[in-house]
Amino acid sequence: MARVDLEPDVLSTLRILDDHGVELVVIGDVADALHDDGAGFVETVAIVPSGYARNLDRLAGALRELRAQLRVPGQTRAQPLALAPHALRELGRCTLVTEHADVELDLEPAGTAGYPDLFADARRIEVGERLAVTVASTEDLDRLDDARARHPVARPDGGPRSGRPTRASARRASPSAGPATARGRARARPR
């Protein structure tokens, strides 16, 4: 697979997380873009960090550098965020607004046992000069999509998420549909 160059804000966010030594698995649109050699547009970096305290300390440091704030459904402005490890653990699934790409943080996504579960089948993919990230397998991404379809979450404006095709639903709807059409939103530039 050729190295994929992500949008600069996404790449900057991943680099800061890596510079702080955060152990994580990338999921969501960035993972899809990396598996699909860069089709679509990426707005948010979705991650599943390891939940042990030292790693959450490193995550807190990276989020401070990114100037992360919590996006609260139904509110137009992001809120300041307590960046202590116990506070990060208690957040559950949330979206953080940063000075680069937004970060969707989830320590235990629906349908998984969190980081150890996703890490087991993940692989490292080079995304930039001296930067590789651990990316969930396509099978795990399908499993996450199926679990999210069964347990939808609210959009930032308070409405339910709907209408967004998942990798698995697109394949079921059209046997010829490949991963690039299943999640056409994720875009990166092939190098």
Segment 91-118, tens digit of pLDDT: 888 999 999 999 999 999 999 999 999 9
Q: Alpha-carbon distance 32 to 121, whole Å?
A: 15
What is the reported pLDDT for 43? 80
Count of helices and strands (H, E) across the chain: 8, 9
What is the reported pLDDT for 165? 46
What is the reported pLDDT for 80? 85
Q: Are strands 102-105 and 44-49 parallel, antiparallel or unpaired?
A: parallel
What is the reported pLDDT for 84? 85
Q: Alpha-carbon distance 83 to 174, whole Å?
A: 44
Q: Alpha-carbon distance 156 to 136, whole Å?
A: 25
Domains, the chain, in order of start with CATH, read: 4-190 (3.30.460)
Question: Alpha-carbon dihedral of residues 39, 10, 140, 38, nearest 10 degrees?
Answer: 20
Global pTM reads: 0.78
Q: Are strands 123-128 and 4-5 parallel, antiparallel or unpaired?
A: unpaired
What is the reported pLDDT for 59? 96
What is the reported pLDDT for 129? 86
Residues 6+ apart with CB under 8 A from 148: 109, 110, 111, 161, 166
Intervals of the chain under pLDDT 50: 1, 155-191
